[in-house]
Structure 1
Amino acid sequence: MKELAARYAQALYPLCPEEETIRAAAGLLTGSAELWGVCTDPTIRPEAKKRVLARVLADVPEPLLHFFDLLCDKGRMALLPEILEEFHALALAERGMGRCLMTCARVPDPDQRRRLRAKMARLHHKSDVELDIRLDPALIGGFILEMDGVRYDQSVRGRLTALERRLEGRREV
């Protein structure tokens, strides 16, 4: 579904490049469990959903409202959170920035984050890098960085796994 969400984000970006406007409109929809349930319920007809959207999103720019209508027509409103993520990636790329997922056993201090952002920006030829941090205590220590399809595993678990593979390889010889 990520590929489909990326295509929708690419179609939306030229229509309404203001990320704050899109996030505010999406927040109105996803912020209410009842409203979000109506928007994503496949048993509710698209025409009914569009009438609700027109009332709730009365102050939204017309191209954005048409985009939400399209999602209703295609039954793809549930993709909205993924579309927002892909849209954000496009907005970052427009500014020469990148996005890096950091999985770590514990949150690094601000200086470590600054150094990692600078290093990843240099490695990937970006002006700056936004770090998305996810915690995974199973890493034991260290971190894993993923950016632009490249994975840098500096975790204790990764090193133990590599050691295990080397030892298994020696045992077979």
Structure 2
Amino acid sequence: MSRSIVSERYAAGLFKAAQDNGALPEVHADVLELLKAIQNDRGFLELMSLPQLSLQKKHALIAAILPGANQLLLNALYVMLDADRMEELPSVLEEFHELANDAAGIAEATVYATRELTEQERTRISSAFAHRVGKQTLHITTIIDPTLIGGIRLQIGNRIFDSSLSNKLASLRRTLIG
């Protein structure tokens, strides 16, 4: 998803406020929950865009829908609502997530494998590849891809590490054919 300068600024502001108040883990957890909810159901954003609802009612709805959310996140939502920037919310939340992960030395990684990985395999992959991208650990998402035949393909950002059997066979084929 492409991000605007506006969403980057809102995310940076929320990140700095959370960091300054020592609430980064709590706000990050709330951001992830809200992001997951918005990705699964766009109803919240549609509700916030209704012109029939006053700003006061929208503020009350946010407080009612997110009763346990950190006040810093709520305040950011109110500011975005007042500035008519709620369409930027998914981008703001994603950008905040990236900032929080970066501060914690975590990178998002996708592992393509022929089967679900064990926790031990995830840990080994994380420790083996995290330092290659300058991070302390990887948050791994596994995608099952039977076309790999064996091995794994790992994607961290725009970097791909491919040790799959299908890739090795393709490389061998290119070498033999010329």
Structure-1-length-normalised TM-score? 0.69
Taking every aligned residue pair, what percent have the same amino acid on both sides?
A: 24
Aligned match of 1:116: 125
- Say if 1:112 and 1:13 are closer, same or farther in 2 by CA, change over 3 A: same
Aligned-pair distance for 1:148? 4.1
Aligned match of 2:96: 87
Does the 8 Å CA contact 1:98/1:130 hold for their aligned counterparts? yes
Aligned residues: 165
Structure-2-length-normalised TM-score? 0.68
- Say if 1:68 and 1:157 are closer, same or farther in 2 by CA, change over 3 A: farther
* Partner SS for 2:135: coil
Does the 8 Å CA contact 2:112/2:153 hold for their aligned counterparts? yes
2:129 counterpart of 1:127: no
Aligned-pair distance for 1:86? 3.7
Which residue identity lines up with residue 149 of structure 1 in the other structure?
Answer: N
Which of 13, 16, 32 is matched with 1:14 structurally? 16
Q: Aligned equivalents of 1:76 and 1:154: distance in 2?
A: 40
Which residue identity lines up with residue 87 of structure 2 in the other structure?
Answer: R
Which residue identity lines up with residue 74 of structure 1 in the other structure?
Answer: R
Q: Aligned equivalents of 1:38 and 1:55: distance in 2?
A: 12
Instruction: State how 1:58-97 maps to structure 2 within 5 Å.
Output: 60-72=69-81, 73-76=84-87, 79=90, 83-97=92-106
Structure 2: gaps spanning 5 or more residues: none
